[in-house]
C-alpha cells in the first residue's frame, strides 16, 4: 500500500473511532442530564410560611413541657429531629386548624391533656387538601403532637379525617416533605400518629407519667402505605 494512502487510511480510522467515542460520551451525558432533571422535578418542593404565634408564653410552656413531661432541662424549646410523625386533623379547613394551633393554651375541654400541661397542641407543618404545604413554625422548634416523642419528632398535620379522607395530592406532598426533611436532618423513623405507642418502653420514649397515653387512628393505614411505598430508598423505620 502506498505510504500516502496508508496514512490517509489510518487518519480516517482514527477519526471514525474518535467520533464513535464522542457520540457515546454525548449519549451518556444526555442520559445523565435527563435523569438529573427528572430527579430534580420529583423532589422539587414549595413550602409556604404561615407561622403560628410562638411568643414568650408559648416558649415558656414548651420549656416547662420538656422538663416535666420529657425530663429534659433546656433553655430553648428546640428539638433534634429523629422521627417524622404524620397526622390528620380530623376535620376543619386550613384556616380553622391554623386558628386552633395558634392558641397558646389548650382548651379546658381537653381535661386529660390539660392536666399534663396547659401548652396547646400543634405541629411544624400543615398540608392542605390540594397538597399545599404550610410551615407553621420552625421545624427545629418544639411542638406538642405525639406523647413521649415530641422532643425528637417533627409533626405533619394533614387537613381531613375519616369522613373526609386524605387526598392523593396530600400523599404526594407528604412524600416530598419527608424527602426534604431527611436531607436536612438525620431522620431515622417515619410513623403515623396511630403508631407512636410502639416506642413505649424504649430509650426513645420520654414521658415521665406512664399513665399518660392516648390511642389514635390517624392518618390511616392506607395513607401510610401509599407514602411509604414511594420512600423505600430512604430505609426509614416504622418502629424501634
User: 187, 194, 204: which is closest to 240 by C-alpha?
Assistant: 204
Using one digit for the tens of pLDDT, what is the confidence trace for 148-192? 999 999 999 999 999 999 999 999 999 999 999 999 999 999 999
* φ/ψ bin of 107: left (φ > 0), alpha (ψ from -120 to 50), beta (otherwise): beta
Position 240 in a domain: no
Q: What's the average model confidence in pLDDT over 125-141?
A: 98
Which domain covers residue 99, as residue numbers?
Answer: 47-234
193 and 94 share one domain: yes
18 and 84 share one domain: no
36 and 60 share one domain: no
CATH of the domain at 114: 3.40.80.10
- Write phi, then psi, for 204 (nearest 5 degrees): -75, -20
119 and 20 share one domain: no
Q: pLDDT-based confidence at 32, cuts 50/70/90?
A: very low
pLDDT attached to residue 43: 61
Q: How many domains does the chain have?
A: 2
pTM of the prediction?
0.84
190 and 215 share one domain: yes
Position 239 in a domain: no
35 and 143 share one domain: no
179 and 67 share one domain: yes
Alpha-carbon distances of 108 from 49, 70, 97, 148, 151, rounded to whole Å = 29, 22, 17, 22, 24
125 and 160 share one domain: yes
Average pLDDT, the chain: 88
pLDDT attached to residue 19: 44
Amino acid at each position: 500500500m502506498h505510504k500516502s494512502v496508508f496514512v490517509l487510511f489510518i487518519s480516517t480510522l482514527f477519526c471514525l473511532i474518535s467520533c464513535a467515542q464522542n457520540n457515546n460520551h454525548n449519549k451518556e451525558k444526555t442520559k445523565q442530564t435527563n435523569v438529573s432533571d427528572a430527579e430534580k422535578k420529583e423532589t422539587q418542593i414549595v413550602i409556604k410560611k404561615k407561622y403560628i404565634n410562638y411568643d414568650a408564653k408559648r416558649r415558656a410552656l414548651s420549656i416547662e413541657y420538656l422538663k416535666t413531661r420529657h425530663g429534659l432541662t433546656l433553655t430553648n424549646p428546640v428539638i433534634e429531629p429523629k422521627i417524622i410523625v404524620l397526622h390528620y386533623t380530623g376535620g376543619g379547613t386550613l384556616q380553622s386548624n391554623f386558628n386552633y394551633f395558634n392558641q397558646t393554651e389548650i382548651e379546658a375541654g381537653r381535661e386529660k391533656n390539660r392536666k399534663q400541661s396547659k401548652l396547646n397542641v400543634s405541629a411544624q407543618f400543615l398540608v392542605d387538601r390540594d397538597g399545599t404545604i404550610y410551615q407553621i413554625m420552625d421545624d427545629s422548634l418544639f411542638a406538642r403532637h405525639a406523647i413521649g416523642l415530641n422532643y425528637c419528632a417533627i409533626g405533619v398535620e394533614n387537613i381531613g379525617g375519616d369522613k373526609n379522607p386524605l387526598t392523593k395530592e396530600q400523599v404526594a406532598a407528604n412524600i416530598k416533605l419527608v424527602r426534604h426533611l431527611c436531607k436536612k436532618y438525620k431522620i431515622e423513623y417515619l410513623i403515623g400518629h396511630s403508631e407512636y405507642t410502639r416506642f413505649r418502653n424504649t430509650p426513645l420514649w420520654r414521658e415521665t407519667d406512664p399513665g399518660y397515653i392516648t390511642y389514635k387512628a390517624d392518618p390511616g393505614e392506607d395513607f401510610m402505605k401509599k407514602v411509604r411505598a414511594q420512600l423505600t430508598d430512604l430505609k426509614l423505620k416504622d418502629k424501634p
